[in-house]
């Protein structure tokens, strides 16, 4: 009936030109490009303040907890849900950590472990209603938001509690010590940067070789070189700048490891694939043998643990727990995920997108603060950027 | 008799595709005019041109209606002249009442205040005309599809319809409701209302149509006059596919072995009305290499039976035993059913079968990710190889396996669903309406795939509402009615009459 099929089916391994490939993958690169443009813009208008080592360090510290929560929120949103309670969980877990260490005399390690478990339990409590009772996640987590905001107030008695033991503060304010003992220059930071670049290049070369071996369509070699080269330069330049200041913050390392882990989980593991299927079509996923309820439940547990971790990092950064901690964080986190290209109806979204989205928000916050733009107009601008980014994405998808 | 509608030389182009190419159709006043063609032949596009969904200027050619040339700018223009379309997907609001739906957008109101007593009394009159015995206050969601269809027709009547267009009106109706609907059309015809009937069910067309226009690949092939002589179904098919379909069902020499699958005393109750038994003591068996059919009317409980069997996906208080190779197997969850070797390809592939936003590759491996992964990590190269393999074997037409399934045609989507289940390597494959909404050519390919499965020694259980399909494909047919299996017919003795006879007899009891 159809004579074309035979050659049509022989796996297409035609040489794609640069432009075609970039066009086809515009959505992947477009986000990164806009982040770079925004950074360049603020670098210029702040007369180079943005990329000073001190400010760069601040940028990382200020955004770490948003990025970490965006990883969990991405999975929640891809699964077709939303979590409004994360800001309140940040406040509650921070308050709990403060009470445990300052008032009840627990050591930082026990406190950290306990707080992560509590975060997971909070996520489980909410996920239970969403997954097994089919209460809309918007409602459940709205309730959670109120409950934990209230519990934070009650726990702290309306007061700020601090300061924390030094060991705990290091979580946020600590840096990876220089094992090479450089004076004024942190060789470890540079070394870690080079090592991670080497790892990235090794893995992408290996996967490219594998793709070529199996005649899968790959990016043109020039583009491949350019992409990895650019990434290598950026990472090493970043690490060099950090090395001239105090080196790599502990938080940065935690964040980088988590980003790599979640990117792997979403791209390459069965559980990641199933979350996407669940968000794309829950009924079809269920009839394909996927335990949709349990999977939904687990995404909320995961979100809870990450929100707990964010709460610890935020408290450690301020060196005090306040009843107002975490206020409004959920909005920044959700915005980051949507700016990063996730679909509000579920099934679509990427870890890299969410991370870039978080940094778009972060760089804008930071840049506008340096410029002395008031908190009032900062919010207006951020809101408009969110709308613009998502409308552009919707428009692109329609085309 | 003069023509109520003449469409002349209609050509409509979309970027890159010529959807309609110089189409001519003439509908005489007071006739039932059937419009047939394979999926994608341009039937729906033509009707959209007629109703003004594609406004004047976006197509070339001219439309004459009631003797004047018309240039519709939108649906409102065509509706005001009495041209009403009832789409395949019904456009009713489920949580509003019948009366509210009938007058939606056309409320019986003065200064924006609705006169409910007028609306209700008019609704009652309209319901009487279409023969629907329901209160105007009944919510549409509580009606079956057949009755919803009648509400749509009542809605059309409320707008003073002169030319009624029905797009696949009987696709989801059982035989009784279909007959009622067709009789209604004949009744309208007697009152001078013309209709255009788009349908895949050729037997219905032979029953009621006065003339038939056949479209193929966006062009008019021919117009057949059914008053002059009787037109056989084969004659219509020849026009639709452009060649004689010697045999609509591929030949196969069944090689049937021992019994491999048995269901014993299977029962299930309605998920909400827990006292209603939907599946009643079903006993059936399938042998190696055998294609077994389940015939029955819509609502007989066939899908409910299959889904309750497949991981208790339907119903409650499910009881009974399932045996594979003589051993009882656990089918209490979908996962367990799949790993025991059962697969169920659903009747509604968009809602239950595919993750539409994802590509062919990801859909194919969804039910058996373990088959392409190691320690929870997916081997993407192996996955790609699997997907390409199925794309070739099943002849899925797409540029690559990275094509999102939402962009595939119905036949190709169905092939993806089948690929997914074949990759889970089942012993028993349950196919629920495997060719619904698929055009003639793709149907043949699906049949070929099913035959190949049986030849490979699998057991196939095929549920279908199209009796000729069951008679053409199966080795043995069970007949289901009101949740029970009421007859078992060997293919040698089975016929449409026997099946219907069994159903009617059991209904009388």
Facing A11 at nearest CB: one of B344, B355, B388: B388
Residue A217 pLDDT more than 70?
Answer: no
The domain boundary residue, chosen from B371, B391, B425: B425
- Contact (CB<8Å) A268/B377: yes
Which residues does chain B have within 8 Å of residue A12's beta carbon, measured at their own beta carbons? 400
Is residue B398 domain-shared with residue B255, that is, in the same domain? no
A339-356 pLDDT, tens per residue? 998 988 889 999 999 999
Peptide bond into A163 cis (omega under 30): yes
Which residues does chain A have within 8 Å of residue B420's beta carbon, measured at their own beta carbons? 288
pLDDT at A12: 41
Per-residue pLDDT of chain B (509 residues; tens, 9 = 90+): 588 999 999 998 876 567 788 999 999 988 999 998 876 678 888 998 998 889 988 899 999 999 889 999 988 889 889 999 888 777 888 889 999 999 888 888 888 888 888 999 999 999 998 888 889 999 988 887 778 888 988 988 888 889 999 988 876 677 778 888 889 899 989 988 999 998 877 788 888 999 999 888 788 888 888 877 787 877 887 777 665 555 778 888 888 999 999 999 999 998 888 888 899 999 999 999 999 999 987 778 899 999 999 999 888 899 999 999 999 999 999 999 999 999 999 888 888 999 998 999 999 999 999 999 999 999 888 999 999 999 998 888 888 888 888 888 788 899 999 999 999 999 999 999 998 877 777 888 899 999 999 999 999 999 998 888 899 999 999 999 888 999 999 999 988 888 888 887 776 55
Please tell me whether residue A49 adopts helix, strand or coil conformation. coil
The domain boundary residue, chosen from B400, B425, B450: B425
Q: Is residue B347 part of a domain?
A: no
Please name the residues between 239 and 268 in chain A that touch chain B, using a CB distance below 8 Å.
268
Q: Is residue B292 part of a domain?
A: yes
Q: Is residue B211 part of a domain?
A: yes
Distance CA A143, CA B140 (A): 34
- The CATH number given to whatever domain includes residue B170 is 3.40.50.300
> How close, in Å, is residue A269 to chain B by CA atoms?
4
Is residue B409 domain-shared with residue B461, that is, in the same domain? no
Is residue B475 domain-shared with residue B366, that is, in the same domain? no
pLDDT at B39: 64
pLDDT at B502: 84
CA angle B452, B457, B460 (to 5 degrees): 70
Is residue B178 domain-shared with residue B300, that is, in the same domain? no
- Comparing alpha-carbon positions, the chain A residue that sits nearest to B338 is A289
The domain boundary residue, chosen from B382, B400, B425: B425
Q: Is residue B346 part of a domain?
A: no
Q: Is residue B332 part of a domain?
A: yes
Q: Retrieve residue B112's tokens.
A: 């924006």
Distance CA A72, CA B400 (A): 32
Distance CA A187, CA B317 (A): 68
Q: Give A284-321 as a 3 state SS string.
A: HHHHCCCCHHHHHHHHHHHHHHHHHHHHHHHHHHHCCE
Q: Is residue B350 part of a domain?
A: no
Distance CA A186, CA B43 (A): 72
Pairing status of strand B32-36 against strand B194-198:
parallel
Q: Is residue B160 part of a domain?
A: yes
Tell me the average pLDDT across A73-80: 96
Whether A399 and chain B come into contact, CB under 8 Å, resolves to no
- The predicted complex's ipTM stands at 0.83
- β-partners of residue A173 are none
Residue A338 pLDDT more than 90?
Answer: yes
DSSP string, A186-228: -HHHHHHHHHHHHHHHHHHHHHHHHHHHTT-----HHHHHHHH
Facing A280 at nearest CB: one of B334, B352, B357: B357
Q: Which residue has the higher pLDDT, A225 or A257?
A: A257
Distance CA A89, CA A147 (A): 10
Q: Which residue has the higher pLDDT, A65 or A11?
A: A65
Which residues does chain A have within 8 Å of residue B369's beta carbon, measured at their own beta carbons? 270, 273-274
Whether B421 and chain A come into contact, CB under 8 Å, resolves to no
Please tell me whether residue A237 adopts helix, strand or coil conformation. helix
> How close, in Å, is residue A138 to chain B by CA atoms?
23
CB of B25 within 8 A of CB of B223? yes
A226-268 pLDDT, tens per residue? 888 888 998 899 999 888 888 899 999 999 999 999 999 999 9
Facing A283 at nearest CB: one of B352, B358, B384: B352
Is residue B412 domain-shared with residue B435, that is, in the same domain? no
Whether A350 and chain B come into contact, CB under 8 Å, resolves to no
Whether B313 and chain A come into contact, CB under 8 Å, resolves to yes
Is residue B398 domain-shared with residue B436, that is, in the same domain? no
pLDDT at A20: 67
Up-side HSE of residue B392: CA atoms within 13 Å toward CB?
Answer: 12
Among B474, B451, B449, CA closest to B463: B474
Distance CA B94, CA B346 (A): 24
Q: Give A221-232 as a 3 state SS string.
A: HHHHHHHHHHHH
Q: Is residue B187 part of a domain?
A: yes
Is residue B270 domain-shared with residue B234, that is, in the same domain? no
A270-293 pLDDT, tens per residue? 999 999 999 999 999 999 999 999
- β-partners of residue B13 are B18
pLDDT at A6: 36
Is residue B221 domain-shared with residue B307, that is, in the same domain? no
Q: Where in the sequence is the domain holding B369, given as residue range(s)? A: 355-425
CB of B65 within 8 A of CB of B83? yes
Q: Retrieve residue B37's tokens.
A: 């063609």
Is residue B234 domain-shared with residue B287, that is, in the same domain? no
Is residue B392 domain-shared with residue B479, that is, in the same domain? no
Within 10 Å of residue A381's Cβ, how many Cβ atoms? 13
Is residue B255 domain-shared with residue B232, that is, in the same domain? no
pTM: 0.81
DSSP string, A263-278: HHHHHHBHHHHHHHHH
Q: Give B112-175 as a 3 state SS string.
A: CEECHHHHHHHHHHHHHHHCCCCCCCCEHHHCCHHHHHHHHHHHHHHCCCCEEEEECCCCCCCH
- Contact (CB<8Å) B346/A287: yes
pLDDT at A3: 36
Total domains in chain B come to 3
Angle between the N-to-C axes of helices A329-339 and A86-98, in degrees from 0 to 180, rounded to the nearest 10:
130
Distance CA B487, CA B134 (A): 34
Is residue B27 domain-shared with residue B118, that is, in the same domain? yes
Residue A5 pLDDT more than 70?
Answer: no
Facing A270 at nearest CB: one of B337, B352, B373: B373
Distance CA A192, CA B84 (A): 71
pLDDT at A1: 35
């Amino acid at each position: 009936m159809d004579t074309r099929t035979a050659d049509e089916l022989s796996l297409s391994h035609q040489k794609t030109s640069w432009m075609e490939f970039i066009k086809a993958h515009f959505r992947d690169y477009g986000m990164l490009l806009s982040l770079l443009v925004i950074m360049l813009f603020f670098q210029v208008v702040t007369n180079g303040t943005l990329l000073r080592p001190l400010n760069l360090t601040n940028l990382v510290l200020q955004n770490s907890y948003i990025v970490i929560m965006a990883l969990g929120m991405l999975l929640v949103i891809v699964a077709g849900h939303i979590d409004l309670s994360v800001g309140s969980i940040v406040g509650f877990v921070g308050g709990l950590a403060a009470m445990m260490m300052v008032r009840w005399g627990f050591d930082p390690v026990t406190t950290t472990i306990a707080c992560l478990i509590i975060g997971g339990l909070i996520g489980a409590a909410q996920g239970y209603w969403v997954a097994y009772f089919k209460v809309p996640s918007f409602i459940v987590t709205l309730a959670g938001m109120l409950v934990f905001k209230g519990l934070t107030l009650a726990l702290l008695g309306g007061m700020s509690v601090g300061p924390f033991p030094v060991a705990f503060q290091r979580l946020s304010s600590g840096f990876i010590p220089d094992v090479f003992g450089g004076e004024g220059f942190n060789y470890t930071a540079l070394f870690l940067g080079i090592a991670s670049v080497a790892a990235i290049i090794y893995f992408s070369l290996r996967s490219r070789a594998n793709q070529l071996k199996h005649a899968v369509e790959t990016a043109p070699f020039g583009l491949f070189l350019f992409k990895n080269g650019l990434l290598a330069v950026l990472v090493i330049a970043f690490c060099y700048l950090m090395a001239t200041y105090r080196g790599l913050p502990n938080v940065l390392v935690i964040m980088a490891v988590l980003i790599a882990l979640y990117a792997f989980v979403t791209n390459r593991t069965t559980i990641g694939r199933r979350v996407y299927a669940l968000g794309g079509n829950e009924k079809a996923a269920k009839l394909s043998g996927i335990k949709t309820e349990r999977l939904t439940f687990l995404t909320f547990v995961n979100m809870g643990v990450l929100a707990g971790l964010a709460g610890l990092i935020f408290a450690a950064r301020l060196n005090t727990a306040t009843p107002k901690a975490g206020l409004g964080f959920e909005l920044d986190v959700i915005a980051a995920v949507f700016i990063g290209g996730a679909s509000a109806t579920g099934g679509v979204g990427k870890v890299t997108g969410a991370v870039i989205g978080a940094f778009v928000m972060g760089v804008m916050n930071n840049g506008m603060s340096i410029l002395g733009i008031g908190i009032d107009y900062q919010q207006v601008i951020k809101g408009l950027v969110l709308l613009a980014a998502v409308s552009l994405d919707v428009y692109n998808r329609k085309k | 008799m003069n023509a109520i509608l003449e469409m002349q030389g209609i050509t409509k182009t979309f970027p890159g595709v010529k959807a309609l190419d110089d189409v001519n159709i003439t509908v005489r006043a007071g006739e039932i005019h059937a419009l047939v063609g394979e999926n994608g032949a341009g039937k729906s596009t033509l009707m959209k041109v007629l109703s003004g969904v594609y406004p004047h200027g976006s197509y070339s050619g001219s439309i004459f209606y009631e003797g004047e040339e018309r240039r519709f700018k939108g649906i409102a223009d065509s509706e005001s002249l009495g041209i009403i379309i009832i789409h395949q997907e019904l456009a009713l609001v489920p949580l509003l009442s019948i009366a509210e739906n009938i007058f939606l957008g056309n409320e019986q109101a003065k200064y924006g205040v609705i006169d409910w007593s007028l609306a209700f009394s008019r609704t009652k009159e309209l319901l009487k005309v279409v023969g629907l015995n329901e209160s105007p206050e009944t919510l549409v969601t509580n009606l079956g599809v057949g009755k919803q269809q009648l509400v749509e027709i009542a809605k059309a009547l409320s707008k003073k319809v002169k030319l009624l267009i029905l797009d696949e009106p009987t696709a989801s109706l059982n035989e009784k409701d279909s007959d009622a609907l067709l009789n209604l059309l004949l009744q309208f015809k007697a009152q001078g209302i013309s209709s255009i009937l788009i349908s895949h069910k050729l037997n219905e067309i032979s029953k009621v149509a006065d003339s038939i226009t056949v479209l193929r690949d966006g062009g008019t092939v021919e117009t057949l006059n059914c008053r002059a002589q009787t037109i056989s179904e084969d004659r219509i098919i020849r026009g639709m596919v452009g060649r004689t379909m010697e045999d609509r069902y591929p030949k196969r020499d069944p090689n049937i072995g021992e019994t491999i699958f048995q269901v014993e005393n299977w029962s299930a109750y309605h998920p909400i009305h827990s006292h209603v038994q939907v599946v009643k003591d079903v006993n059936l068996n399938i042998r190696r290499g055998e294609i077994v059919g389940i015939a029955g009317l819509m609502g007989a409980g066939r899908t409910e039976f299959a889904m309750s069997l497949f991981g208790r996906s339907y119903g409650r208080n499910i009881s009974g035993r399932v045996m594979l190779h003589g051993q009882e197997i656990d089918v209490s969850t979908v996962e367990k059913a799949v790993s025991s070797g059962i697969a169920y390809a659903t009747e509604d592939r968009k809602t239950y079968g595919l993750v539409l936003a994802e590509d062919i590759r990801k859909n194919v491996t969804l039910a058996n990710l373990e088959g392409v992964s190691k320690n929870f990590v997916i081997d993407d190269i192996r996955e790609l190889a699997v997907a390409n393999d199925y794309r070739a074997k099943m002849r899925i037409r797409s540029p690559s396996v990275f094509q999102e399934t939402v962009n595939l045609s119905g036949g190709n989507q169905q092939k993806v669903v089948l690929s997914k289940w074949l990759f889970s390597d089942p012993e028993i494959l349950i196919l629920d309406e495997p060719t619904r909404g698929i055009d003639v050519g793709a149907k043949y390919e699906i049949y070929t795939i099913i035959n190949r499965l049986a030849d490979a020694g699998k057991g196939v259980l095929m549920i279908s509402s199209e009796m000729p399909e069951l008679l053409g494909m199966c080795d043995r047919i069970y007949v289901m009615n009101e949740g029970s299996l009421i007859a078992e017919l060997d293919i040698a003795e089975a016929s449409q009459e026997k099946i219907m006879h069994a159903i009617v007899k059991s209904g009388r009891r």
